[in-house]
Chain A
Amino acid sequence: MSLLTPPQITGTAVRPGDRNFRFTTTVAGIAVLGVLAAIAAFLVWQSIPALQNNTGNVFTNQQWLPDADPPEWGIAVLIFGTLWTSLIAMVLAVPIGIGTALFITFYAPRRIARTLGFVVDLLAAVPSIIFGLWGLYYFMPQIVPAAQWLSTYLGWIPFFSNDLDLYTKSILIAGFVLAIMILPTVSAISREVFWQVPKGHIEASLALGATRWEMIRMSVLPFSRPGMISAAMLGLGRALGETIAVALILSAVFEINWQITEPGGNSIAANIALKWGEAAANGRSALIATGMALFFITLLVNMTARWVVNRRRDFSGAN
């Protein structure tokens, strides 16, 4: 950088304009950090009342009665539901997202690749309430046969079984819609990672007679593995916090439900949307406590993902 500094002909004085401008930009940068810290601080602070007068164990209790007297609530059901729906979304979205990214990067002609990339990114611009509306009224009736098939033929696997013979509003359907919502995230980041694979590696393997798949398997995937993991985790981060679509689609019950084809399940974010309006002061404080848990979970997931990506960026000296 020192090369870029102009030679200081008039002495060492820093121009006041320069100093002020630099100061302003630094303050803006610090403000961004401050916002993040403030989010954590305010959520913790406002959730203290409900945490203090809770008569249930916050981690294990499976009730949601924060406005009862005495209040009794826990987040076990919510955390389980959040992770379970997001996991199903990941199982569906990650292979398809990576497949799409591979197609765009290595298979499609340039024109088609660009169009497809645009279209998949466009999916990210669809508001979540529209996913919810569409999922509830149009997607769900179409996907029910798939759920029925799973429980009929794979019902011997415990979480596919369906004792109720009802297949709507299930964790599986919520997972499907979430998968569609995180597909652009997974696909876009994988695409970016695949671009970073050194051309030399690709050409070398092709020159050695590898088929295209062998090239991908032996030079692209090993190089991109950390990037793909973080793409999946960033998708997970988005799925964890999705509110409206899940609130509209899932039949929320307050119990731990492994059965993914049956109605029932819950998530932290959807629970907030469902309970906020009728909650009294303590109920809101409890909901804020669950929001705090969601915040820290997504923070952890995102930090891990970013850390992996950044480490990769720093050390990918291959090109």
Chain B
Amino acid sequence: MDLRSDIHAPLSPADDPLRLTGRRLPRWAPVGALAVALLVGLFVQLTQVTVLGLAPVVVVVLVFLLTYTGWTLAVEGRRHAADRFATALIFSAAILALVPLLWILVTVIYKGVTVLSVNFLFVDTMRNVNPRAAGGGVAHAVLGTLQQVGLATLISVPIGLLTAIYLSEYGRGRLARSINFFVDVMTGIPSIVAGMFIYTFWILTLGFPQSGFAAGLALTILMIPVVVRSAEEMLRIVPNELREGALALGIPKYRVIIKVVLPTAISGIITGVMLAIARVTGETAPLLLTTFLAQDINWNAFDGSQASLPTFIWDQIGRGTQSSLDRAWAGALTLILIVLFFYATARILAARYAPKER
């Protein structure tokens, strides 16, 4: 940068007529500003001097922003000050966005592991468990959740996949456009509304009892749009050359779709289904309206009360004793493990098979 500085030794960089860049802060400037801020924070912490009642952490952040921006303003000018200020804010936003997830995961694991055990997960139910006593388990709730989500998957995947095929392979014109639009809109339906619909339709109007299957139906409503959207996206990125090649061989279009297009997109579709499952597994609100809580294993999702993990947690919170709260946390850990399992599987599949990103 300062090529000529050995020739014109007294000339400062700012005065150099051939210099293209303005004066810059040293590379360690952010660290320096942070150090200053931390020192001030330490001072506040130690002396208990409070400025406007602000907590030391907040003081650190504010002092950092002030020093860093002010310093840039003095050295580099207004434009660069704005740039650095914005950069600092954007970095803070990204760091802030990380906090809740870590906090929640740590809390749930920390509170959940004390009760969690193999028996809690797979063997014990709440049959004969006193609300005040420790013990019991979630075997019945895990079973219920798996059955309900399984039923929802069984119903929503065919409908969703066929709809996606229609949208990507056949649909043209107004009908396709409106299906496309309303599928997007459906992704935003509140889950309690889905539960309420199944309650009014399946239970009030058709007269069926509350059951695991009714819960599955409510979850279906929530799953379908997610499946359609992801499957359609996957079908659309199947290269047209594949379709054309197969069609050119005289293969009927439906066989092209089933034998060529679907297999090509299948990993992506499975990923989408897994994500949809992960999304509905933790839904609580629709289950409160469509199932009855059960304390015991019920293998029959079509008759009688059936437990599920979310309603188990809800029930245990409401019982209001320390041991029931412990069970609620262990149930929460179980639920989050199941959801993360689906989610991680989906992501691993996606990462392995997905086409290159931009």
Residues in chain A near residue B194, CB distance under 8 A: 39
**Contacts A248-B317, A295-B189, A306-B184; A127 near B53 (Cβ below 8 A):** no
Bound: A242/B286 CA distance, A: 11
The answer, yes or no, to whether A24 is at the interface (CB within 8 Å) is yes
A28 contact from B86, B87, B159, B247, Cβ within 8 A: B159
A133 contact from B85, B224, B317, Cβ within 8 A: B317
Q: Do the beta carbons of A133 and B188 come within 8 Å of each other?
A: no
Q: Do the beta carbons of B53 and A149 come within 8 Å of each other?
A: yes
**Contacts A18-B254, A127-B339; A153 near B163 (Cβ below 8 A):** no
B284 contact from A33, A216, A240, A243, Cβ within 8 A: A243
User: Which one of A64-72, A118-126, A156-164, A253-261 is at the B interface?
Assistant: A118-126
Interface set, chain A 284-304, CB cutoff 8 A to B: 287-288, 291, 294-295, 298-299, 301-303
Interface set, chain B 63-93, CB cutoff 8 A to A: 79-80, 82-83, 85-87, 89-93
Q: Do the beta carbons of A4 and B192 come within 8 Å of each other?
A: no
Q: Do the beta carbons of A122 and B54 come within 8 Å of each other?
A: no
Bound: A234/B185 CA distance, A: 9
Q: Do the beta carbons of A43 and B87 come within 8 Å of each other?
A: no
Tell me the minimal C-beta distance from A90 to chain B in angstroms.
Answer: 15
- Residues of A within 8 A of B (CB-CB), count: 99
Q: Do the beta carbons of B252 and A42 come within 8 Å of each other?
A: no
Tell me the minimal C-beta distance from B316 to chain A in angstroms.
Answer: 10
Residues in chain A near residue B141, CB distance under 8 A: none
Residue on B nearest A107 in the bound complex, by CB: B90
The answer, yes or no, to whether A46 is at the interface (CB within 8 Å) is yes
Residue on A nearest B204 in the bound complex, by CB: A46
A-B contacts counted at CB < 8 A amount to: 281
**Contacts A25-B169, A43-B197; A123 near B101 (Cβ below 8 A):** yes
Q: List 14 A-B contacts (CB under 8 A).
A: A9-B250, A17-B252, A32-B179, A39-B194, A107-B91, A127-B284, A127-B336, A211-B83, A212-B86, A214-B79, A234-B188, A291-B192, A294-B190, A298-B190
Give A contacts to B, CB under 8 Å: 1, 4-6, 9, 15, 17-18, 20-22, 24-33, 35-36, 38-39, 42-43, 45-46, 95-100, 102-104, 107-108, 116, 118-120, 122-131, 133-134, 138-139, 145, 149, 152-153, 180, 183, 187, 195, 211-214, 216-217, 234, 237-238, 240-244, 248, 269, 272-273, 276, 287-288, 291, 294-295, 298-299, 301-303, 305-307, 310
